[in-house]
Structure 1
Amino acid sequence: MDNEDELKFTDLIQRVKMRHNDVMPTMALGVQELKEDLGKKVGLNELPEIHQFLDRFYMSRIGIRMLIGQHVALHRPNPPPGFIGLICTRVSPVEVAQLAIDDARSACMRTYGGSPEVHVYGDPSFTFAYVPTHLHQMVFELVKNSLRAVEERFSNTEQDSPPIRVVVADGLEDVTIKISDEGGGIPRSGISKIWTYLYSTAKSPVSDDKQQLLEMPPVMAGYGYGLPISKLYAKYFGGDLQVISMEGYGTDAYLHLNRLGNVQEPLP
C-alpha cells in the first residue's frame, strides 16, 4: 500500500463519516414516531430493550466516528499545535466550558429572548488531554438544560433569574465539572426517566416536514437525547455523568472525565 492508496482510503472513510452525519436526527425521528404509535399506554420504563439497543448503537457509533476522525485528523497537512489527531494534549476545561456556555446562551436567547447568567469557577491555565469536541458537546447539553429550566421558571416572575454555576475541579483521577442551577429541579420519580431516549422535558420538535427536521442543527432539544448521549460520551473515555436534583429548588449535574488514560474502549 503506497502513499496514494493511503490518501484514497483516508478520503473514502471521510466521505463515509460525512454520509452518516444525519443518523442521530433520523434515529431520533424514528424513536419519536415509535413513541407516538405506542401511545400513552406503554410506560417509558417498559421498553428496556429499546434503550439497551440504542445505548449499544450509539456507543458503537461514537467509537467508529472517533476512529475515523482520528485517522483523518492525523493526515491533515497542518495540524493545530498541541493536537494528536482529534486529541488535544492541553485542553483547558474552563476555556472549553466557556465556549460551550456562550453557544448555549446564544441558543437560549434565540428561543426565549433572554438568558440567565452563567458563572464559571476554576483555573483557566489548568489543562489535560481530552477530545475538546466531546467536552464541548457534553457541557453544552448540560448548560442548555439548566438555562432552559431557569428561564422557564423565572421568565414570568418579577424575580431576577439566579445565575448558573459551573465549577471545574482538578482531581488526581478525574476532572469533574459541576453544573448547578436553581431551575426548580426534577421530581425523584422522574430522575430515572431522564436517561431514557423516549423522554424529554422540552417540547418535541417533530413536525410534518420530515426533511426540514433532518436539516435542523443537531442541538437535539426536544428529542430526549441530550443527557443519554452525553453520558455515553463521558463513559467512552472512562468517565461518567450523574444528576442529583432537589425538587422545588434546582439540579446539580456532575460530569466526571477520566484523566488516567488507563480505560479500554467500552464497546458492546
Structure 2
Amino acid sequence: MWKVMRVWRCGGVRWAHRQRPSNELLSELSFDQHYKIRSNIGLLIQDYASKPIAPLDYEYFLQYRPPLTRKEEYMLTIKTINLLLSLTCKRLNAIQRLPYNAVINPHLERTNSLYLKSLQTLLPVAYPYELHNPPKIQAKFTELLDDHEDAIVVLAKGLQEIRTCYPQFKISQFLNFHLKERITMKLLVTHYLSLTAQNNDESDGNTIGILQRDLPIVQLVKHVSDYVNDICFVKFNTQRTPVLVYPPAQDIAFTCIPPILEYIMTEVFKNAFEAQIAHGKEHVPIEVNLLKPDDDELYIRIRDHGGGITPEVEALMFDYSYSTRSQQPSDDEDSTDLPGEQINNVSGMGFGLPMCKTYLELFGGKMDIQSLPGWGTDVYIKHKGPSKAALLAKR
C-alpha cells in the first residue's frame, strides 16, 4: 500500500509526496545492491561495536543535575545516544557471532531483529538540530523502552532451546556480557527520561535522575517483605511470615537507585519465604540485619530457617537458567518486575540471583550465600552508593 508522507501547496497546486513500502523497494534491488547495503550496515555495526565504553558508575549519573542548562541537556543527549548506539551494536555483533544453529532459533532471531530496530530508532537523529528537540528524543527513548519490554523473556526462551547444541559455559559467557550491557542501556535511558522530567518540574533535590538521596532502607525492607508476604499468601494460602529488622529502633538513610535495591531484596525474600513455607517454618521470623559503616556502603544480611541448600545446589545458584522450580508459574502467581521492565514472566527461568549479582557488581557491590543444610541460609549483600564527595561536588 502506498503511504502519503507529506502534503504541501505550490502555485495553488496541491502536491503529495508518497513513500513506497520498503519491501517493494527492496524487491527492485539487484543482488550487488543488496550486498552493498548489507555490507555497509555490517561495517557500521562493527565500527560502533569496537568503540570502548567506560564502566557505568555513579559519577556519570551525578555529572548533570536538575535544573539543566540548555548546554547540559544538549551534552547529556549526545552522550546518551552515542552510548546507546555503541551498546546496541555490541549486542548485535555478539548475536551475529553465535553459531548458525543458534542464530536461526526463532527467539534469538527475534532478539536480533529487536536490536536492529533499536539501531533504526537511534541512527536517524539529525545532528545537531534534533538534539535541541527534547520531546522528540524522549519519544525515541520511550519507544526504545517499549520495544525491549519482553526482551529478556524472549532471549531466555531462545537460549533454553539451544542448550542441547551449545555449551552451557558459552551460554553463561554470552549472558554475562549481554545482560550487563542491557542493564546499562536501561539505566541510561531511564536516567535520561527521569532527569529531563525533573528538569521540567520543580525538583525537591532528593532525586537526581534515577538516584534518590537518603532512601529510608527499613521502610523499603518492610515494603518489599509485605509485598512478598502477599504473594506467598495468595500462592500457598499460608499464614504471613514475620520479618524482624535489626537495628529496630532507627531507620538507615542510603543514597542509591531504589528499583535496583528493591528488585534484589524481592528476589532474596522470595527464596527465603518459599523455603520456610516448604519446610513448615512460615511462623519463624526471617531476620534482616542492616549496617551502614560508611556513607557509600550498605550491608544487608537476610537469614531464613528454610532448611538450607545442599552444596551441589549452592554451587549453581548464580548460574543463568538454573532454577529449583520444576515449572514456571503463571502470570498471576509469582512475578517480579526487573528495574525498568514491565514484564512479569521471568520467574522460574533462573535469572533471579544472577541478575541480582550483576546489578550489585555493576556498581562495585557483591552478593554471597552461606547455607547450613538442615538449618537455613544467610544471604549477604554489599551495596555501594555514591561517595559523599561526589554528592556534594559542585556543578
Shorter-chain TM range is 0.7 to 0.9
Which of these residues, 239, 247, 259, is aligned with residue 365 of structure 2?
A: 239
* Native 8 Å contact 1:119 1:164 kept in 2: yes
Cα RMSD (Å) of the superposition? 2.4
Gap runs ≥5 in structure 1: 208-215, 263-268
Consecutive unaligned residues in structure 2, runs of 5 or more: 1-128, 331-341, 389-395
Larger Cα Rg: Structure 1 or Structure 2?
2
Task: Give the superposition deviation at 1:260.
Answer: 4.9
3-state DSSP of counterpart to 1:171: strand
CA distance, structure 2, for counterparts of residue 236 and residue 23 of structure 1: 20
* Aligned counterparts of 1:204 and 1:160: Cα–Cα separation in 2: 23
Deviation at 1:192?
1.6
Distance 1:201 1:26, change over 3 A: same
Question: RCO greater where, 1 or 2, for CA within 8 Å and sep 6 or more?
Answer: 1
* Equivalent residue in structure 1 for 2:318, among 185, 192, 195: 195
> How many residues get paired?
243
Does structure 1 retain, via aligned residues, the 8 Å contact 2:255–2:386? no
**Mean Cα deviation higher: 168-177 or 248-257:** 168-177
Determine whether 1:225 maps to 2:351.
yes
Q: Distance in 2 between matches of 1:182 and 1:160?
A: 9
Asked if residue 65 in structure 1 is aligned to residue 183 in structure 2, the reply is no
Matches within 5 A, 1:57-96: 57-76=178-197, 77-78=200-201, 81=204, 82-96=206-220
CA contact (8 A) 2:364 2:384 kept: yes
**Alignment-mate amino acid for residue 75 of structure 1:** T
The amino acid of 2:291's aligned partner reads A
- 1:199 is paired with a residue whose SS is coil
Q: Does 1:27 align with 2:155?
A: yes
Distance of 1:255 and 1:70 partners within structure 2: 24
Residue identity (%): 25
Query: Aligned equivalents of 1:50 and 1:206: distance in 2?
Result: 24
- C-alpha offsets along residues 214-237 of structure 1, whole Å, 9 cap, x if unaligned? xx9526331111100011111111
1:165 aligns with 2:165: no
Q: Compared with structure 1, are the counterparts of its residues 168 and 32 closer, same or farther at alpha carbon in structure 2 (3 Å cutoff)?
A: same
Match of 1:105 among 229, 242, 257: 229
TM-score, scaled relative to structure 2: 0.57
Inter-partner Cα distance in structure 2 for 1:160 and 1:191: 22
Contact kept? 2:153, 2:345, Cα under 8 Å: no
Q: 1:183 to 1:20 in 2, by over 3 A?
A: same
Contact 1:99 1:136 in 2 (8 A): no
Greater shift, 174-183 or 89-98, is seen at 89-98
Distance 2:297 2:212 in 1: 17
Rounded Cα–Cα distance in structure 2 between residues aligned with 1:105 and 1:21: 26
Q: Name 1:55's counterpart in structure 2.
A: 176
Deviation at 1:124, TM superposition (A): 4.7
Q: Describe the SS at the equivalent of 2:289.
A: strand
Instruction: Select between 92-101 and 250-259 the one with higher mean Cα deviation.
Output: 92-101
Most deviating of 197-206 and 56-65? 197-206
Query: What is residue 117 of structure 1 aligned with on the other side?
Result: 242
Secondary structure of the residue that 1:198 maps to in structure 2? coil
Aligned to 2:62: none
Within the candidate set 303, 321, 342, 1:180 is matched to 303
Q: Distance in 2 between matches of 1:93 and 1:170?
A: 10
Instruction: Report the more deviating stretch, 111-120 or 125-134.
Output: 111-120
SS at match of 1:195: coil
Whole-angstrom CA distance in 2 between matches of 1:17 and 1:175: 30
Instruction: Identify the range of structure 1 (26-35 vs 53-62) with the bigger mean alpha-carbon deviation.
Output: 26-35
Deviations 1:25-47 (A, max 9, x none): 22222233345x56xxx9xxx62
- Is the contact made by 1:88 and 1:132 (CA closer than 8 Å) also made in structure 2? yes
Alignment check: 8 A CA contact 1:180 1:250 kept = yes
CA deviation map 1:156-204 (0-9, x unaligned): xxx6631111111111262011110010111112212111112111232
Out of 139, 142, 145, the position equivalent to 2:268 is 142
Cα distance in 1 for residues equivalent to 2:192 and 2:365: 23
SS at match of 2:300: strand
| Alignment equivalent of 1:17, drawn from 125, 132, 145 | 145
1:48 Cα deviation after fit: 1.2
